[in-house]
Amino acid sequence: MLTNRQLQILQVIVDDFVTSAQPVGSRQISKKDWITSSPATIRNEMADLEELGFIEKTHTSSGRVPSEKGYRFYVDHLLRPISMSTQEIGLFQSIFKNQIVEMEQVIRESANILSDLTSYTTILLGPNVSKHRVKRFQIVPLSEQTAVAIIVTDNGHVENRTITLPQGFFPSDIEKTVNILNERLVGISLLELQSRLELETFYVLRQHVNTADSFIQSLRNVATFQNEGKIYFGGKTNMLNQPEFHDLNKVRALMEMMEKESQVISLFHPEDTGIHIRIGSENNHLVMDDLSVITASYSIGNDQEGSIAIIGPKRMDYQRVVSLLDVMRSGLSSALSNKVNDGL
């Protein structure tokens, strides 16, 4: 177990390094007025902390830098949530107050505000579409051969696909199809849509509609959705201001990573419910070895979920980000839930 003094020293090392990005030495630590020991004593303690793996040297005679284990210990035991300035709280409320705007707009704004406030990069995962429920089907013919199929969900999301109509498919057939689909499928979630179609609806369709068979493949396409929510970014370029990104190769690697949807999504973990911190290599991604990700989930109504992630250097201001994220998460949840409730 760490002594009280060791805890203090570790805390100073992390805090100082977070703000300065420079290795911190014994003299610097002893200058803090709540630290009473002399540099020499502190050096001894630091040697111990290093042996325990909490801090590291960048070279033989340099000051110390927190190790990954050190950060982990810090966030697990030394982190005290701080309260935000009223100015910041005001900023948040300004997004949520505005009732008129669309859900998408609120999410976009949130991402931007978070990245402005932290000067890190924000990734906001929109609510997973597959939990929305079908409110209405619609097929609008464009020509003899093509039409647009539209699904409206209970919270106002609209999905649409262009489909090909089989030859000899008449307006009356379209009408019949739409009726069947609406009768059978309204109220079920997009997630179940695919299987419901296969198991039941197609069968009915074949019975009532001419040339249904060649049409069914089109409908299959309609029912295929991305199974993750839409991705919104805020402050993509903020990271370039961080000193750890003076290295062009790192910049490139990170930028390329952010372009790839699947890799971005892999930063989120569906089992994370509250606020989670992943430090450096804990992200299991080479590019992220020098970065930390803090994720939080928000919920809309009862089950629809979205996530927020803030990506910053390992040397990131964990206290501040966690606090901000907590406010944002509850703000988003209640704002968006209200929107849904208004619509019930």
Which residues of this protein are in contact with its own copies, per CB under 8 A? 102-103, 135-136, 138, 140, 142-143, 145-146, 148, 150, 152, 154-156, 158, 160-162, 236-237, 240-241, 245-246, 248, 251-252, 255-256, 259, 342-344
Best CA proximity match to 35, nearest among 57, 7, 1, 61: 7
Do 193 and 134 form a contact (C-beta atoms < 8 A)? yes
Do 39 and 30 form a contact (C-beta atoms < 8 A)? yes
Tell me the closest approach of the beta carbon of residue 262 to its own copies, in angstroms: 15
Tell me the closest approach of the beta carbon of residue 3 to DNA, in angstroms: 9
Interface with DNA (CB under 7 A), residue from 62, 99, 273, 341: 62
Q: Which is nearer to DNA, 23 or 306 (CB)?
A: 23
Q: Which is nearer to its own copies, 131 or 329 (CB)?
A: 131
Q: Which is nearer to its own copies, 1 or 344 (CB)?
A: 344
Do 51 and 103 form a contact (C-beta atoms < 8 A)? no
User: By CB under 7 A, which span of 59-67, 78-86, 163-171, 293-301 interacts with DNA?
Assistant: 59-67
Do 125 and 307 form a contact (C-beta atoms < 8 A)? yes
Tell me the closest approach of the beta carbon of residue 315 to DNA, in angstroms: 16
Alpha carbon 73 to its chain's center: 24
| 36 near DNA (CB under 7 A) | yes
**Spatial distance between the Cα atoms of 237 and 115, rounded to a whole number of angstroms:** 10
Tell me the closest approach of the beta carbon of residue 150 to its own copies, in angstroms: 6
DSSP 34-94: T--S-HHHHHHHHHHHHHTTSEEESSTTS-EEE-HHHHHHIIIII----PPPHHHHHHHHH
Residue 199's binding partner among DNA, its own copies, none (Cβ under 5 to 8 angstroms by kind) is none
* Token pair for 86: 């009223």
Residue 286's binding partner among DNA, its own copies, none (Cβ under 5 to 8 angstroms by kind) is none
| 26 near DNA (CB under 7 A) | yes
Q: Which is nearer to its own copies, 38 or 160 (CB)?
A: 160
Interface with DNA (CB under 7 A), residue from 8, 9, 12, 28: 28
Residues of this chain, 64-103, that bind DNA according to CB under 7 A = 64
Size of the site for DNA (CB under 7 A): 26
Q: Which is nearer to DNA, 306 or 313 (CB)?
A: 313
Q: By CB neighbour count within 10 A (0-12 exposed, 13-18 middle, 19+ buried), where does 43 fall?
A: middle
Tell me the closest approach of the beta carbon of residue 339 to its own copies, in angstroms: 9
> By three-state DSSP, how is residue 334 classified?
helix
| 301 near DNA (CB under 7 A) | no
Q: Which is nearer to DNA, 70 or 331 (CB)?
A: 70
Q: Which is nearer to its own copies, 5 or 236 (CB)?
A: 236
> By three-state DSSP, how is residue 214 classified?
helix
Do 336 and 103 form a contact (C-beta atoms < 8 A)? yes
Interface with DNA (CB under 7 A), residue from 19, 21, 27, 243: 27
**Spatial distance between the Cα atoms of 315 and 336, rounded to a whole number of angstroms:** 32
**Spatial distance between the Cα atoms of 70 and 53, rounded to a whole number of angstroms:** 7
Contacts with DNA, residue ranges (CB under 7 A): 22-28, 36-41, 43-44, 46-47, 50, 57-64
